[in-house]
Chains A and B, each alone.
Chain A
Amino acid sequence: MRLHFVFQEIWIGLRRNLTMTISLVITVAIAMALFGTGMLLKKQVDSSKGYWYDKVEVSIYLCTKTSSEPKCSKKDATEDQIAELKDSLSKLPVVADVKFESKQEAFDRFQKLFSSSPGMSQATKVGDIPPSLRVKLKNPEKINDVISLGEASKGNGVDQVINERKLLEKLFKILNGLQWAALFIALIQVFASVLLVGNTVRLSAFNRRRETGIMRLVGASNMYIQLPFILEGAIAGLAGGIIAAVMLVGSKVLLIDRLEDSLGFASHLTWTQVAGVIIFSVAVGVLLCAGASFLTLRRYLKI
């Protein structure tokens, strides 16, 4: 097998079909970038899901004079009520830990959280945020036991029960939606690129019909006749994959990292994971194009 000859044929083929090749490269690049973004989002969601569900707490806000809950009757929760509630929460088998957060502590935490937006932090005073019991769970799946106990204690000093998990679920729903949207569009693009590969191969086979006719005649092996076409597809796929890799690095820096920053996620997506996704999507791009050209060759190239 003379590699020089094969590569020369590929180069001629790609150059003759330049516009077709460019459109193929672009389509593959977009398909693989979306595919990769979808996978990155999935990894991000999966790992942060675990991370956050582990830390999930139920916050039971206690009555203050300013509470709007009628059962609080505009009174602060008494020490006894707090102690009793804390006690009964601790007795639940699913509860790992119950912590009391006083008005001052809540205020401090709020100040720290919003230190970057002075408008918010300056407008709040001590007492605006009610004291609360923060309940940590052993098993986040059995969160309902805690919620129903908290709800039942309304009128016994409880103002509001907030299930953090519900808030997180909303967020993950959005991220999940993004992920599926990316994968769905990627799928359409993959379909388009398979058709484009077919067209490119058809053009290529037509352009080189004299050469392939003579090759057949003088007894070139099928491999030798087909290889330039398949490699042509593979090279276009590789070019698309490399562009997709650049776009994926972009989407890690611009989309996912920003998402993490603005949502206060700890960074879970490492560059190793990104590299894995890139390698995977480049490989998929190359195999897709090579496979599609192999299949269409059977139709347009008589062996």
Chain B
Amino acid sequence: MINFDNVTKVYPNQNRPALQHCNVAVEKGEFVFLVGPSGSGKSTFLRLILKEERPSQGHVYVAGKDLNKLTNWKVPHLRRRIGCVFQDFRLLPNKNVFENVAFALEVIGKPRRFISKVVPEVIDLVGLEGKGHRMPDELSGGEQQRVAIARAFVNRPMILLADEPTGNIDPATSIGIMKVLDRINRTGTTVVMATHDAAIVDAFRKRVVELEDGRVVRDQSRGVYGQAY
């Protein structure tokens, strides 16, 4: 599903590469934790999958396609098949829960009837039954993150990328968020989650890819966060 083939990324005006010689393969339906200290290249890893950045060397394959060969005007179609969740939720403050989720479908031109059928289903899936009319500022951090997950998942992407989704949320609520991500993973969606949260990684026992200074230093199925932490 996702394949990094000897990928090196050096940002312009920087000497130290953000990623160097990375080889990682993620199969369809896998759940992968991407761990490592800040600046170890986790976000770069995710941005390369979205083609927000292009590798300085090597190839990134998503769903069998070489992203280097993907023309710019096809990038939106790639992103439609990848959902994204961030630490800071990125909801639109002037839209309610339903509208926030619907926005993702509106802007890719889905018909209104389809939207009004699919959005409530996804809102239920992430555990926000009956809260469709709430505004983001009326929701807790955990609930806002559920809205963001609903928005990322509403178009049924094949991959869900989560960049520290529990970073702004207390540990008890984080478990709930993880259960939602797990539920999404069980529908067959590949999930790649970058995180600092050792407790969660240890509790879930999924595959762990550890990055340090842009290198993959550990790739372990059913791993833990690591002894050093």
Contact = CB atoms under 8 A, between A and B. Distances in A.
Chain B contact residues, majority secondary structure? helix
Interface stretch (B71-79, B119-127, B176-184): B71-79
Nearest to B90: A214
A221 B92 contact: no
B72 to A, nearest CB: 8
A1 B72 CA distance: 20
A174 interface: no
A206 to B, nearest CB: 15
Contacts of A264: none
B109 A217 contact: no
B151 interface: yes
Contacts of B228: none
Interface string B101-139: 001101111011000000000000000000000000000
A211 interface: yes
B229 to A, nearest CB: 30
A273 to B, nearest CB: 44
A219 B92 contact: no
B96 interface: no
Contact of B104 (A1, A218, A221, A224): A218
A215 interface: yes
Contacts of A275: none
Interface residues of A, number: 18
Contacts of B77: 219
Contacts of B50: 217
A115 B155 CA distance: 84
B84 interface: yes
B160 to A, nearest CB: 12
Interface string B60-98: 000000000000110011111110100000101000000
Given A2-B106, A224-B107, A210 B90 contact: yes
Contact of B79 (A211, A216, A224): A216
A214 B104 contact: yes
Q: Which of B72, B79, B81, B82 has the most CB of A within 10 A?
A: B79
A219 B73 contact: no
A217 B108 contact: no
A5 interface: yes
Nearest to A221: B76
A218 B155 CA distance: 9
Nearest to A4: B112
A274 B152 CA distance: 55
A222 B72 CA distance: 10
Interface of B: 50, 72-73, 76-82, 84, 90, 92, 103-104, 106-109, 111-112, 151-152, 155
The 9 closest A-B pairs by CB, nearest first: A219-B80, A219-B79, A220-B107, A218-B104, A219-B76, A215-B107, A221-B76, A5-B106, A217-B84
26 contacts: A1-B109, A2-B109, A2-B111, A5-B106, A210-B90, A210-B92, A213-B90, A214-B103, A215-B107, A216-B76, A217-B50, A217-B90, A218-B80, A218-B84, A218-B107, A218-B108, A218-B155, A219-B76, A219-B82, A220-B76, A220-B108, A221-B73, A221-B76, A221-B108, A222-B73, A225-B107
Given A2-B109, A211-B92, A218-B151, 13 more contacts: A5-B106, A210-B92, A214-B151, A217-B84, A218-B79, A218-B103, A218-B155, A219-B80, A220-B76, A220-B107, A222-B76, A224-B108, A225-B107
